[in-house]
Amino acid sequence: DAEITQSPRHKITETGRQVTLACHQTWNHNNMFWYRQDLGHGLRLIHYSYGVQDTNKGEVSDGYSVSRSNTEDLPLTLESAASSQTSVYFCATSRGHTGELFFGEGSRLTVL
Amino acid sequence: ELKVEQNPLFLSMQEGKNYTIYCNYSTTSDRLYWYRQDPGKSLESLFVLLSNGAVKQEGRLMASLDTKARLSTLHITAAVHDLSATYFCAVDITGTYKYIFGTGTRLKVLA
Protein backbone atom coordinates (compact mmCIF):
# COMPACT_ATOMS: atom_id res chain seq x y z
CA ASP A 1 0.00 0.00 0.00
CA ALA A 2 1.12 3.54 -0.70
CA GLU A 3 2.14 5.45 2.37
CA ILE A 4 4.00 8.35 3.95
CA THR A 5 6.90 7.63 6.28
CA GLN A 6 8.39 10.15 8.67
CA SER A 7 11.64 9.74 10.56
CA PRO A 8 12.67 10.02 13.26
CA ARG A 9 9.39 9.64 15.13
CA HIS A 10 10.89 11.13 18.25
CA LYS A 11 13.95 13.32 18.65
CA ILE A 12 15.50 15.33 21.45
CA THR A 13 18.11 17.90 20.51
CA GLU A 14 19.84 20.92 21.93
CA THR A 15 19.41 24.57 21.08
CA GLY A 16 21.55 25.60 18.13
CA ARG A 17 21.91 22.18 16.55
CA GLN A 18 20.83 21.43 13.01
CA VAL A 19 18.02 18.91 12.72
CA THR A 20 16.54 17.24 9.65
CA LEU A 21 13.18 15.50 9.65
CA ALA A 22 12.66 13.10 6.78
CA CYS A 23 9.45 12.55 4.85
CA HIS A 24 9.13 9.84 2.20
CA GLN A 25 5.96 9.06 0.25
CA THR A 26 5.08 6.31 -2.15
CA TRP A 27 1.80 7.87 -3.33
CA ASN A 28 3.59 9.56 -6.23
CA HIS A 29 1.77 12.77 -5.34
CA ASN A 30 3.26 16.03 -6.57
CA ASN A 31 2.07 18.18 -3.65
CA MET A 32 3.82 17.79 -0.31
CA PHE A 33 3.49 19.79 2.89
CA TRP A 34 5.03 20.23 6.30
CA TYR A 35 2.86 21.30 9.23
CA ARG A 36 3.58 21.80 12.88
CA GLN A 37 0.99 21.13 15.56
CA ASP A 38 0.93 22.95 18.85
CA LEU A 39 -1.75 23.14 21.51
CA GLY A 40 -4.08 26.03 20.85
CA HIS A 41 -2.83 26.59 17.31
CA GLY A 42 -4.08 23.61 15.38
CA LEU A 43 -1.88 22.83 12.40
CA ARG A 44 0.21 25.55 10.85
CA LEU A 45 1.81 25.34 7.43
CA ILE A 46 5.61 25.57 7.39
CA HIS A 47 6.62 24.84 3.78
CA TYR A 48 5.07 23.19 0.78
CA SER A 49 6.07 21.92 -2.64
CA TYR A 50 4.12 21.40 -5.85
CA GLY A 51 6.79 19.24 -7.45
CA VAL A 52 10.47 18.58 -7.97
CA GLN A 53 12.64 21.69 -7.50
CA ASP A 54 9.62 23.67 -6.28
CA THR A 55 9.42 24.90 -2.68
CA ASN A 56 7.31 27.60 -1.06
CA LYS A 57 7.06 29.25 2.33
CA GLY A 58 4.03 28.78 4.51
CA GLU A 59 2.77 30.90 7.39
CA VAL A 60 5.48 29.86 9.91
CA SER A 61 8.57 29.26 7.75
CA ASP A 62 11.18 31.25 9.70
CA GLY A 63 13.98 28.96 10.90
CA TYR A 64 12.98 26.11 8.56
CA SER A 65 14.03 25.07 5.07
CA VAL A 66 13.06 22.31 2.64
CA SER A 67 14.37 20.93 -0.62
CA ARG A 68 12.68 18.75 -3.24
CA SER A 69 15.08 16.81 -5.41
CA ASN A 70 12.66 14.00 -6.27
CA THR A 71 8.94 13.27 -6.08
CA GLU A 72 9.18 10.98 -3.06
CA ASP A 73 11.03 13.08 -0.48
CA LEU A 74 10.63 16.45 1.22
CA PRO A 75 13.08 16.76 4.13
CA LEU A 76 12.53 19.56 6.63
CA THR A 77 15.66 21.17 8.10
CA LEU A 78 15.90 23.31 11.20
CA GLU A 79 19.14 25.19 10.64
CA SER A 80 19.65 26.15 14.29
CA ALA A 81 17.05 24.60 16.54
CA ALA A 82 15.29 26.83 19.06
CA SER A 83 13.10 25.90 22.02
CA SER A 84 10.16 27.53 20.24
CA GLN A 85 10.46 24.79 17.61
CA THR A 86 9.54 22.09 20.09
CA SER A 87 6.45 20.65 18.44
CA VAL A 88 4.92 17.74 16.59
CA TYR A 89 5.65 17.89 12.88
CA PHE A 90 3.44 16.31 10.24
CA CYS A 91 4.29 15.70 6.64
CA ALA A 92 1.40 15.38 4.20
CA THR A 93 0.73 14.87 0.53
CA SER A 94 -2.36 15.76 -1.43
CA ARG A 95 -4.22 14.05 -4.19
CA GLY A 96 -4.36 16.53 -7.06
CA HIS A 97 -7.98 16.43 -8.19
CA THR A 98 -9.65 16.47 -4.75
CA GLY A 99 -6.93 18.09 -2.68
CA GLU A 100 -7.49 15.57 0.11
CA LEU A 101 -4.49 15.44 2.44
CA PHE A 102 -2.78 12.23 3.56
CA PHE A 103 -0.64 12.54 6.66
CA GLY A 104 2.43 10.80 7.99
CA GLU A 105 2.53 9.53 11.55
CA GLY A 106 4.26 12.65 12.85
CA SER A 107 7.65 13.48 14.34
CA ARG A 108 7.82 14.74 17.90
CA LEU A 109 10.75 17.13 18.32
CA THR A 110 11.96 18.45 21.65
CA VAL A 111 14.56 21.21 21.71
CA LEU A 112 16.25 21.65 25.08
CA GLU B 1 -5.50 36.64 5.56
CA LEU B 2 -7.60 33.53 5.66
CA LYS B 3 -8.89 32.61 9.10
CA VAL B 4 -10.68 29.40 9.97
CA GLU B 5 -12.63 29.27 13.20
CA GLN B 6 -14.23 26.25 14.77
CA ASN B 7 -16.72 26.16 17.58
CA PRO B 8 -17.03 24.85 20.06
CA LEU B 9 -13.39 24.18 20.88
CA PHE B 10 -14.35 21.54 23.40
CA LEU B 11 -17.50 19.45 23.47
CA SER B 12 -18.53 16.94 26.08
CA MET B 13 -21.70 15.08 25.26
CA GLN B 14 -23.67 12.06 26.35
CA GLU B 15 -23.94 8.96 24.22
CA GLY B 16 -27.04 8.98 22.09
CA LYS B 17 -27.22 12.76 21.78
CA ASN B 18 -26.94 14.88 18.64
CA TYR B 19 -24.69 17.86 18.17
CA THR B 20 -23.15 20.09 15.51
CA ILE B 21 -19.63 21.45 15.13
CA TYR B 22 -19.27 24.65 13.13
CA CYS B 23 -16.45 25.79 10.90
CA ASN B 24 -16.41 29.40 9.67
CA TYR B 25 -13.85 30.81 7.30
CA SER B 26 -13.07 34.33 6.25
CA THR B 27 -12.44 34.25 2.51
CA THR B 28 -13.75 32.68 -0.66
CA SER B 29 -13.16 28.97 -1.00
CA ASP B 30 -15.06 26.11 -2.60
CA ARG B 31 -13.07 23.34 -0.99
CA LEU B 32 -13.35 22.29 2.61
CA TYR B 33 -12.11 19.19 4.41
CA TRP B 34 -12.79 17.49 7.72
CA TYR B 35 -10.18 15.42 9.52
CA ARG B 36 -10.20 13.34 12.67
CA GLN B 37 -7.30 12.98 15.07
CA ASP B 38 -7.12 10.51 17.95
CA PRO B 39 -4.83 11.39 20.88
CA GLY B 40 -1.17 10.91 19.98
CA LYS B 41 -2.05 9.87 16.45
CA SER B 42 -2.00 11.33 12.98
CA LEU B 43 -4.89 12.91 11.12
CA GLU B 44 -7.21 10.92 8.91
CA SER B 45 -9.49 12.30 6.25
CA LEU B 46 -13.21 12.18 6.95
CA PHE B 47 -14.91 14.31 4.31
CA VAL B 48 -14.02 16.23 1.18
CA LEU B 49 -16.50 18.98 0.26
CA LEU B 50 -15.82 20.50 -3.12
CA SER B 51 -18.79 22.70 -3.96
CA ASN B 52 -21.54 24.83 -2.50
CA GLY B 53 -24.31 22.67 -1.07
CA ALA B 54 -22.13 19.55 -0.86
CA VAL B 55 -23.28 17.07 1.75
CA LYS B 56 -21.42 13.92 2.71
CA GLN B 57 -22.38 11.28 5.27
CA GLU B 58 -20.46 8.46 6.85
CA GLY B 59 -22.07 6.52 9.66
CA ARG B 60 -23.11 8.91 12.43
CA LEU B 61 -21.29 11.89 10.89
CA MET B 62 -22.62 14.22 8.24
CA ALA B 63 -20.78 17.22 6.81
CA SER B 64 -22.13 20.06 4.71
CA LEU B 65 -20.77 23.15 3.01
CA ASP B 66 -22.36 26.56 2.38
CA THR B 67 -19.82 28.60 0.46
CA LYS B 68 -22.02 31.70 0.41
CA ALA B 69 -22.16 31.77 4.19
CA ARG B 70 -18.54 30.53 4.39
CA LEU B 71 -19.71 27.87 6.78
CA SER B 72 -19.35 24.12 7.11
CA THR B 73 -21.03 21.94 9.70
CA LEU B 74 -20.19 18.52 11.04
CA HIS B 75 -23.29 16.95 12.53
CA ILE B 76 -23.08 14.06 14.94
CA THR B 77 -26.12 11.83 15.26
CA ALA B 78 -26.63 9.57 18.28
CA ALA B 79 -23.05 9.91 19.49
CA VAL B 80 -21.08 6.87 20.61
CA HIS B 81 -17.88 6.72 22.66
CA ASP B 82 -15.81 5.74 19.60
CA LEU B 83 -16.42 9.18 18.14
CA SER B 84 -14.32 10.76 20.89
CA ALA B 85 -11.46 12.54 19.08
CA THR B 86 -10.40 15.96 17.89
CA TYR B 87 -12.02 17.14 14.66
CA PHE B 88 -10.40 19.66 12.36
CA CYS B 89 -11.77 21.51 9.40
CA ALA B 90 -9.38 22.80 6.76
CA VAL B 91 -9.95 25.24 3.92
CA ASP B 92 -8.10 25.34 0.63
CA ILE B 93 -7.03 28.82 -0.37
CA THR B 94 -8.66 28.72 -3.78
CA GLY B 95 -6.43 27.49 -6.54
CA THR B 96 -3.33 27.08 -4.42
CA TYR B 97 -3.70 23.71 -2.66
CA LYS B 98 -2.65 25.54 0.51
CA TYR B 99 -4.73 24.41 3.42
CA ILE B 100 -5.47 26.44 6.51
CA PHE B 101 -6.71 24.49 9.51
CA GLY B 102 -9.09 25.45 12.25
CA THR B 103 -7.87 25.02 15.82
CA GLY B 104 -9.88 21.85 16.24
CA THR B 105 -12.85 20.69 18.29
CA ARG B 106 -12.08 18.19 20.98
CA LEU B 107 -15.06 15.88 21.33
CA LYS B 108 -15.58 13.69 24.34
CA VAL B 109 -18.53 11.31 24.33
CA LEU B 110 -19.49 10.09 27.76
CA ALA B 111 -21.00 6.65 28.25
Query: In the prediction, which pLDDT does A2 show?
Result: 64
For residue A99, what pLDDT band results from cuts at 50, 70 and 90?
Answer: confident
Test the B interface: residue of A101, A102, A108 with most B CBs within 10 Å: A101
Mean pLDDT across the stretch A16-36? 96
Is the pLDDT confidence value at A96 over 80?
no
Q: According to DSSP H, which parts of chain B are helical?
A: none
- pLDDT tens-digit series, residues B44-86: 999 999 888 999 999 999 999 999 999 999 999 999 999 999 9
Spatial separation of the C-alpha atoms in residues B75 and B43, rounded to whole Å: 19
B82 secondary structure, DSSP code: G
Is the pLDDT confidence value at B21 over 90?
yes
B18 — phi, psi (to 5°)?
A: -110, 150
Test the B interface: residue of A43, A54, A91 with most B CBs within 10 Å: A43
Q: What is the DSSP string of A19-43?
A: EEEEEEESS--SEEEEEEEETTTEE
Min Cα separation B18/chain A (Å): 25
What's the per-residue H, E or C state across A53-94?
A: CEEEECCCCCCEEECCCCCCECCEEECCCCHHHCEEEEEEEE
Contact B101 A43 (CB under 8 A): yes
Spatial separation of the C-alpha atoms in residues B45 and A86, rounded to whole Å: 25
Q: Using alpha carbons only, give the angle A10, A11, A16 rounded to the nearest 5 degrees.
A: 155
Spatial separation of the C-alpha atoms in residues A107 and A37, rounded to whole Å: 10
Spatial separation of the C-alpha atoms in residues A6 and A104, rounded to whole Å: 6
